[in-house]
Amino acid sequence: MSQFQKSTLREYFESIVVAVILALFIRTFVVQAFKIPTGSMEQNLLIGDHLLVNKFVLAPTASDAERGVLPVAPIARGDVVVFKFPDDPERDFIKRVIGLPGDVVEIRHKRVYIDGRPLEEPYVHYLRPPADANSPYAGSDVREQYGPVTVPDEEYFVMGDNRDNSQDSRYWGFLPRGLVKGRALVIYWSYETEAAEYRATGVGATIRRVGSVAAHFFTRTRWERLLRQIR
């Protein structure tokens, strides 16, 4: 009987260890949860959207053989990616890839041009129309006019979909490939809240958030956004 109890306990322990290792592997290499704290990607992604980020599909490979076997893909124009903010790698940002290595990126009256050709952007959102050509802001505001600039090798030009309210490559430069964590995949939950509530830190803020979610889970959950694929 003692031997049976010992074996059973050992099996439970081993199962827990395997589950923890598997969870850590998935968290580190395959998928990561991410929440939207600001409106820089509206109207495509809203404050309070909770995403799953596919980290494996953009993982670096060491050889052509690996690329042929593993389900990895290059970063493409239009991908919505999560990355370490170049000026503060402890923070994660989410933006859309606009310029690829070698592209010449230019903004004229808020319209993006790649190699001199206008880029079709059905996802883009503006808070206000382009400034008048005679306005003093037309040439000095990077939201109105920018570039042209050439994207270096192994770097990308990224922008938020909410073009008038996004800190992106127009302000802090190109995104190095090594800082990209993964491609945004799907919204698994969306909860209506304010940006200030998401930005608040500390134990007290966390307790208030948990209490608020528990009290308003059904009324503030955006049910229509659940399992929405991110494009």
**DSSP per-residue codes, 21-53:** HHHHHIIIIIEEEEE--SSTTTTTS-TTEEEEE
How many Å apart are CA 74 and CA 59, to the nearest integer?
A: 9
In one-letter notation, the amino acid at residue 218 is F
Q: What does the alpha-carbon distance between residue 161 and residue 123 come to, in Å, rounded to a whole number?
A: 6
Instruction: Please count the CA atoms within 13 angstroms of the CA of 229 that sit on its side-chain side.
Output: 2
Catalytic residue among 2, 6, 40, 135: 40
Judge whether 40 counts as a catalytic residue. Answer: yes
The single residue of 6, 15, 55, 95 carrying the catalytic annotation is: 95
Q: 15 catalytic, yes or no?
A: no
- Give dist(CA 229, CA 49) in Å, integer: 12
Enzyme catalytic residues: 40, 95
